[in-house]
Amino acid sequence: MSLLQVIEAGFGYEKQEIFRKLNFQVKKGEVFCLLGPNGCGKTTLLDCILGVRQLNAGKILLNGQDLNTFRSGQIARHIAYVPQSHERTFPYTVMDIVKMGRAAYTGRFSAPSKLDKAIAKEALEMVGLFHLRHRPYTQLSGGEAQLVMVARALAQKTPMIIMDEPTAHLDFKHELEVLETIVELVGDSQISVIMATHFPNHAFYFENKKLPTRVALMHDHNFLELGQPSEVIAEESMKTLYGVNTRLISCATGERSELKQLVPISTIS
Amino acid sequence: MLLIISPLLCIFASLFIGRYPLSIDEVIRILWCKMAQLPCEVLDIKQTIVWDIRLPRAILGALVGGCLAISGAAFQGLFRNPLVSSGILGVSSGAGFGAALAIVMFSSVSSATYIFAFAFGTLAVFLSYIIGRVYDTTPTIMLVLGGVIVSSVFSALISLLKYVADPYQQLPAIVFWLMGSLATARYSDIVAAGLPMLVGIAGLLAIRWRINVLSMGDKEAHTLGVNLAVDKGLVIISATLATAAAVSVSGIIGWVGLVIPHICRMLVGNDNRVLIPASLSMGACFLILVDDLGRIITGSEMPLGILTALVGGPFFVWLLKKTKGGNW
């Protein structure tokens, strides 16, 4: 059975339709990439899956059960969220932030237990930031802070993590670090990841790492195409999706492994 | 431990401070025989000063200071803004209006002043909440706007009442009330205002770790599994009960609800599990000490609202320089 099933989903604001009749499912241990231009509704769709917004039409099934029957505490035990950009207000320590991932398992009037602390510690070790645990997270670099957000999501111990452009604002290396962490999670822990991204090459990266990867191209209120990266991401579809002329190249990254890359050439004016 | 002991020490110390000198021996004897209900060999006037004037005043000061500081700390977390104070949702202006209204209606400060102040203080927060409500949620920014609107309307109404008040009796009463004072503290005040204050304090202490999660912002708090309506509501109700009760017995005492939480952030960090109790304790100590200062530096009573800022300001600057801003 699919972990997540989205059936005939539609959402719109009063005068503006965002998407309609979307259908897809996400299985265990799978990466699901959402591609599409700015403002196409990727974040809105993710918000609906997170229960932050309600669909106008259709339904979302989580483990076969209608999402509307879940309370926020229950959703948080199924789906964790890594925000696009996290506004850092108070200088909490890194450990304090990761411990907040345990809120769904902690009573309203209590604080994280020893067990919660151990789980938070484990999550920090997984992203390789345990040595920073006592540092105020406001002092970390953007990439480190994003990995802290990933650790917080891991501490939620959910079968699924939703990431909204997790590599936005990150430098060359940190971007790769986040991607490598995702590969570990999906490959080793069989977590499912839904990821909105601006880079078609991210999908190729996951495919090249032998992860079950699917891509949805969001265009004109619906999915233009949905399938495996090498089937879907092509020069023609990118022209429709972004209005960009591209060239698909492939480079050897080792014996019998080659990484496809999409190179942008020019915009269509 | 230190958090519990230090306010008690401050209360005890303030029993000696004032225009009438008392020895340690005398104070302890008075406390002992009053509590054991034995006859006292100390002068009656000394008994009255310690037991009926200084002690209730110190206890009330501790409660009021603690309430203002703990609510300020909670609101700073909830609103994700370190510049917020306990009056952000209009409770102070509302209470000020209530008190002024009672003074104009009944021509003097009476028990109606407390009741009106408390009622209008809570009403102001309720109005802010209603204004901030969009669809079925209450986004934080809308709540702040609601608070700003309600505060300014009630401030205007206070000015209106001052304008129409009798300038010889009512106007000075209003002005003094607004400047804040603990001078009239009696045990009956503590009993009347103590219940909402303690309920509010208990609520904030209980939910304090959740304030960490709420300070991640609405969307993230939701995805972390927080029921926003319930948890935000509990924080607002608790902080409002505490602040409205505090303001209604003491008048408007600014500064404590803004700066004490800040000082605590520098000293103990930002984890609300520690910050909330620390603010409670530090707010209590601060107000007792400032009140002690207020009754010894001049011949007449110096209003508290003036002194908290005059004492707190330089102290805050000193601490800012010393801790280099504490990670801000």
Q: Residue B327 above 60 pLDDT? A: no
Phi–psi pair at B171, nearest 5 degrees: -60, -50
Query: Do residues B193 and B246 lie in contact, with contact meaning Cβ atoms separated by under 8 Å?
Result: yes
Cβ pair A248, A262 in contact under 8 A: yes
Measured over the CA atoms of residue B293, residue B297, residue B303 and residue B309, the dihedral's sign is: negative
pLDDT tens column, B259-276: 899 889 988 999 999 999
Q: Which of A71, A80, A89 sits opposite B227 (nearest CB)?
A: A71
Instruction: Kindly provide the ipTM of the predicted complex, given to two decimals.
Output: 0.91
> What is the Cα–Cα distance from B221 to A168, expressed in whole angstroms?
21
The per-residue pLDDT for range B286-316, each reduced to its tens digit, is: 999 999 988 888 777 788 888 888 888 888 7
Check CB contact under 8 Å for A110 and B215.
Answer: no
- Look at residue B324 and tell me whether its pLDDT is greater than 70: no
For range B141-166, the mean pLDDT: 93
CA nearest B200: which of B66, B1, B3? B66
What are the b/e assignments for B29-65, b being 16+ CB within 10 Å?
A: bbeebeeeeeeeeeeeebbebbbebbbbbbbbbbbbb
First to last CA, chain B: 28
Among A47, A72, A80, beta carbon nearest to B226: A72
**pLDDT value of position B235:** 96
Q: Does A91 touch chain B (CB under 8 A)?
A: yes
- How far apart are the C-alpha atoms of B55 and B34, rounded to whole Å? 12
pLDDT at B149: 94
Structure tokens at B268: 């103990």
Q: With beta carbons less than 8 A apart as the criterion, state whether A118 and A153 touch.
A: no
State yes or no: pLDDT of B38 exceeds 90: no
Amino acid B73 reads A
Contact A83 B219 (CB under 8 A): yes
**Cα–Cα distance, B269 to B280 (Å, whole number):** 15
Q: Which residues of A touch B228 (CB under 8 A)?
A: 72
Residue B326 confidence (pLDDT): 54
What is the per-residue pLDDT for B6? Answer: 86
- pLDDT at position B328 is 53
In which element (H, E) is residue A179 found? helix A172-189
Of B68, B11, B88, the residue nearest B256 (C-alpha): B68
pLDDT in tens, chain A (269 residues): 689 999 999 999 888 889 999 999 999 999 999 999 988 999 999 999 999 999 999 999 999 999 999 988 999 999 999 998 888 889 999 999 999 999 999 999 999 999 999 999 999 999 999 999 999 999 998 889 999 999 999 999 999 999 999 988 888 888 998 999 999 989 888 999 999 999 999 999 999 999 999 999 999 899 999 999 999 999 999 999 999 999 999 888 777 778 889 999 999 87
Interface-testing mutation among B84, B223, B232, with chain A (most A C-beta atoms within 10 A)? B223
Nearest neighbour of A92 by CB, restricted to B230, B270, B326: B270
Interface test mutation site (partner A, options B76, B204, B209, max chain A beta carbons within 10 A): B209
Report whether pLDDT(B321) > 70. Answer: yes
Alpha helices (H) along chain B: 2-14, 24-35, 44-47, 55-78, 91-106, 111-131, 140-164, 170-179, 187-206, 208-214, 218-223, 228-250, 256-268, 272-296, 304-323
Contact B220 A93 (CB under 8 A): no
- The conformation of residue A51, written as its DSSP 8-state character, comes to T
Torsional sign, CA A228, A233, A237, A242: positive
Closest CA to B128 of B177, B78, B192, B77: B78
B137 — pLDDT class (breaks 50, 70, 90): low
DSSP secondary structure of B174-201: HHHHHH---TT--HHHHHHHHHHHHHHH
Contact B271 A92 (CB under 8 A): yes
B227–A50 CB contact, under 8 Å: no
Q: Which candidate in B224, B227, B235 is best for mutational testing of the A interface (most A CBs within 10 A)? A: B224
Token pair recorded at residue B299: 């011949």
**pLDDT for the residue numbered B136:** 62
Measure B85 CA to nearest chain A CA, in Å.
Answer: 15
Q: What is the pLDDT of residues B245-259, one digit of tens each?
A: 999 999 989 889 988
- Under 8 Å CB pairs connecting chains A and B tally to 92
Give residue B5's pLDDT band: very low, low, confident or very high (50, 70, 90): confident
In chain B, pLDDT over 70 holds for what percent of residues? 97
Q: B220 vs A104: CB contact, 8 Å cut-off?
A: no
> Residue B31 above 70 pLDDT?
yes
> Which chain A residues contact residue B223 at CB under 8 A?
50, 52, 75-76, 79-81
Tokens of A249: 């190249």
Q: Determine contact: A166 vs chain B, CB below 8 A.
A: no
The answer to whether A26 touches A3, Cβ cutoff 8 Å, is yes
CB distance A90–B209 less than 8 Å? Answer: no
Enumerate the residues of chain A whose CB falls inside 8 A of the CB of residue B216.
86, 100
Residue that is written with structure tokens 């306990």 in the block = B86
Closest CA relative to residue B305, chosen from B246, B238, B225: B246
CB distance A90–B82 less than 8 Å?
Answer: yes
Tokens 């005043």, residue located = B57
**Cβ contacts of residue B269 below 8 Å, gap of 6+?**
A91, A93, B275
